[in-house]
Every structure is written in structure tokens, then in C-alpha cells.
């Protein structure tokens, strides 16, 4: 199985894709968003950056990414989710990965209409312990019990950055910074695009399975 880098706007379905790879194929899931949110609980300035929806500086995020990949369980493939966010980070990541001997990587761009993303923002809840995400407006992603995590039984919360204004900033930032990355990986030949239509989840996951098994 190939190691996977996800490129996707907020709420495009990275969480669902990642859950699928973890459960079906034993992937390790490195979400820079979760790692940073955890770290921000002891770091007030980092917390402010995250709440504003701005990008976190390379000096903070690059060493964290290198550390998790370096110390991972090496028999398993991994998912990198939420990184890289800029072309510069993509180039630095290439250096980190080749330095660590990680060569089998596919970059999966998840493509979703902006209107669909906005619908998802409104109903989203996330577990305050394991970060699994839910959506009250989408039947397949509703928790079994209101405001309780299906996986670990903890309370579901609305994340600080889950509001429409913050979404608009994150979406704009995503488009501006990620288009050059997509072009970069496309040129390298390791980019695959998956359209993640709500009604077509099974199809999207089947395509994903094909992508990670390519030779």
C-alpha cells in the first residue's frame, strides 16, 4: 500500500477517507490539525493562530511532521493529512521524505463543490477526545446518541474554527496556497484526483482503494 498525502479543502471528507484506510488497511493517521490542536492546549499563541484560520509557520509545523514520520511504526503505511499547505512546504516535505527513505507516496486531491462544503460546515461536530467528526445534517455521519462520540463515548463539541466566516477564510487560503501544490505534484506524476460527492461515498472509497494499490 502506498503512503497517502491528502490535499483537500476543509470538510471535503478527509476524515472519512482516513477512517476507511485505517480500518480496512491498517494505515497510521497523522493529522497535523489534530497534532496542532493538541499542542495548542498548552500554547496560547498557537491557539490564537489556529482560531484565526491562518496558516501555521513552517518553523513550527515542519519539525513536528518530520518527528511523527521518523518515529512511526514502519511496517504500516501512513496518511499525512493537513500538510503540505504551501508549495514551499511540499518541496521541503520531499526532502524530509527522501531523507527518511519514504519513496512510495501518492497525493490524493479530494474535490468537492463549495456549496456542498458550506452545507457540511453548518452541521459539523467533533469529539473532544479522539477528534472523530460527525455531521448532524448528514444521516450517514450522525452520532448514534446526540452529542456523544460513537467511538469513545466522549462529548461532541463544535470546534472553534467551525463557523461560516472562518470557513470562508480557510477555503480561500486553501485555494490560493494549494493550487501551486496540486500543479507541482501533477507534474511529478504522483497526483490523483477523487471527486467526493455526498451521494457517491462508496464509489469514492472504491476509487481510493484503487489508487493506494497502484504499482
Residue ranges binding Zn ion (CB under 5 A): 127, 129-130, 132, 149, 151-152, 154
**Helix, strand, coil fractions of the chain, as percent rounded to 5:** 50, 15, 30
154/173 with CB nearer Zn ion: 154
105/149 with CB nearer Zn ion: 149
> 186 CB contacts (<8 Å, ≥6 apart)?
none
CB of 60 to Zn ion, least distance (A): 26
The answer to whether 39 and 141 have CB atoms below 8 angstroms apart is no
CB of 66 to Zn ion, least distance (A): 28
106/126 with CB nearer Zn ion: 126
CB of 77 to Zn ion, least distance (A): 23
CB of 130 to Zn ion, least distance (A): 3
Residue positions counted in the chain: 215
36/127 with CB nearer Zn ion: 127
Instruction: Pick the closest to residue 14 from 102, 110, 90, 97 (CA basis).
Output: 110
Whole-number Å distance between alpha carbons of 21 and 214: 15
The answer to whether 158 and 123 have CB atoms below 8 angstroms apart is no
Amino acid at each position: 500500500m502506498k503512503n497517502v498525502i491528502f490535499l483537500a479543502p476543509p470538510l471535503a471528507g478527509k476524515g472519512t477517507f482516513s477512517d476507511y484506510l485505517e480500518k480496512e488497511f491498517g494505515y497510521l493517521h497523522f493529522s497535523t490539525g489534530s497534532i496542532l490542536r493538541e499542542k495548542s492546549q498548552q500554547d496560547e499563541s498557537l491557539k490564537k493562530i489556529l482560531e484565526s484560520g491562518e496558516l501555521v509557520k513552517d518553523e513550527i509545523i515542519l519539525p513536528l511532521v518530520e518527528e511523527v514520520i521518523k518515529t512511526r511504526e514502519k511496517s504500516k503505511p501512513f496518511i499525512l493529512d493537513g500538510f503540505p499547505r504551501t508549495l514551499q512546504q511540499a518541496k521541503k516535505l520531499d526532502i524530509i521524505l527522501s531523507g527518511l527513505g519514504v519513496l512510495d507516496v501518492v497525493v490524493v486531491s479530494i474535490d468537492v463543490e463549495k456549496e456542498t462544503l458550506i452545507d457540511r460546515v453548518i452541521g459539523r461536530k467533533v469529539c473532544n477526545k479522539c477528534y472523530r467528526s460527525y455531521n448532524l445534517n448528514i444521516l450517514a455521519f450522525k452520532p448514534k446518541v446526540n452529542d456523544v462520540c460513537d467511538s469513545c463515548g466522549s462529548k461532541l463539541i463544535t470546534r472553534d474554527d467551525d463557523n461560516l466566516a472562518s470557513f470562508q477564510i480557510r477555503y480561500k487560503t486553501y485555494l490560493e496556497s494549494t493550487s501551486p501544490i496540486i500543479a507541482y505534484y501533477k507534474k511529478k506524476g504522483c497526483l490523483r484526483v477523487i471527486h467526493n460527492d455526498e451521494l457517491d461515498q462508496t464509489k469514492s472509497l472504491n476509487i481510493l482503494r484503487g489508487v493506494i494499490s497502484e504499482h
